[in-house]
Amino acid sequence: MTELELIIDLHKNSERQGPGSENDTLKALDYLDLPTDQNLKVADIGCGSGGQTISLAKNLNGKIIAVDLFPEFLNELNEKTQKSGLTDKIVTLEKSMDDLPFNEGEFDLIWSEGAIYNIGFENGLKKWKDYLKVGGYLAVSEITWITQSRPKEIEEFWKTEYPEVDTASNKIRQLENNGYSLVGYFYLSQDSWIETYYKPMQARFENFLKRNDNSELAKKVVEDNQAEIDLYQKFKDYYSYGFYIARKNE
């Protein structure tokens, strides 16, 4: 297996592929003022195995197109959809988020948890805006500094990993500059990183190594993820995922 295949293998059969929780999804959803008597059209971009997609489907009246690049995650979501009796509400689409086959003004809501960074926050805001109706909502979570200054070690790490890392005030300005109005913002609690993402991942390490014959590459994948967890533990007061809920103006 390649390193990418191993990374997918490690993240398979998990509730979430990134920090977040059902509470956070519902909290973000609470900011929206959407008609309850209409069939809404929703896109969940970078859905992974669809932890948040299922919550959205249970709480919204309409149809969700759940998009991801990797069929392994979409297959899992399809199984969950069947088991939850939500097949009339969720369809999956294997596509890259920068090459979506959507029409102008098609969606009431575009959702994306922990995934817009793959094409960059500002690029994503611009691209996806076309697919939203005027007055439609964008709800995205994005890595965000939660203090004005921070130790050099973590500053340099994130600047290298994701040069667009920034404070919420600068991210909100980008939303405003690109024709959105902010309707809500909060950042994820430490539990949404540790309890619902990192701890379940650590619990999968042993089986992951076993089924991959303790290969050097599998060990490296575990070490890299453990290093990410250690870094989070050390610097968790300085960054989180910010959840941005905004409305398209024009």
Ligand X SMILES: C[S@@+](CC[C@H](N)C(=O)[O-])C[C@H]1O[C@@H](n2cnc3c(N)ncnc32)[C@H](O)[C@@H]1O
Judged by CB under 6 A, the chain residues 61 through 100 that form the site for ligand X are 67-70, 73, 96-97
Which of 23, 75, 118, 202 contacts ligand X by CB under 6 A? Answer: 118
The reply to whether 42 sits near ligand X by the rule CB under 6 A is no
Whole-angstrom distance, CA of residue 132 vs CA of residue 130:
6
> By CB under 6 A, is residue 124 in contact with ligand X?
no
User: Site map for ligand X, 172-211, x if CB under 6 A?
Assistant: ----------------------------------------
Shortest distance, CB of residue 11 to ligand X, whole angstroms? 7
Interaction between residue 17 and ligand X (CB under 6 A) = yes
Residue 48 touches ligand X, criterion: CB under 6 A:
yes
Which of 10, 28, 47, 74 lies at the binding interface for ligand X (CB under 6 A)? 47
| Contact window for ligand X (CB under 6 A) among 47-55, 57-65, 129-137, 232-240 | 47-55
Q: How far is the CB of 241 from ligand X (least distance, A)?
A: 9
Closer CB to ligand X, residue 98 or residue 176? 98
The length of the chain is 250
20 binds ligand X (CB under 6 A): yes
Question: Is 113 a binder of ligand X (CB under 6 A)?
Answer: yes
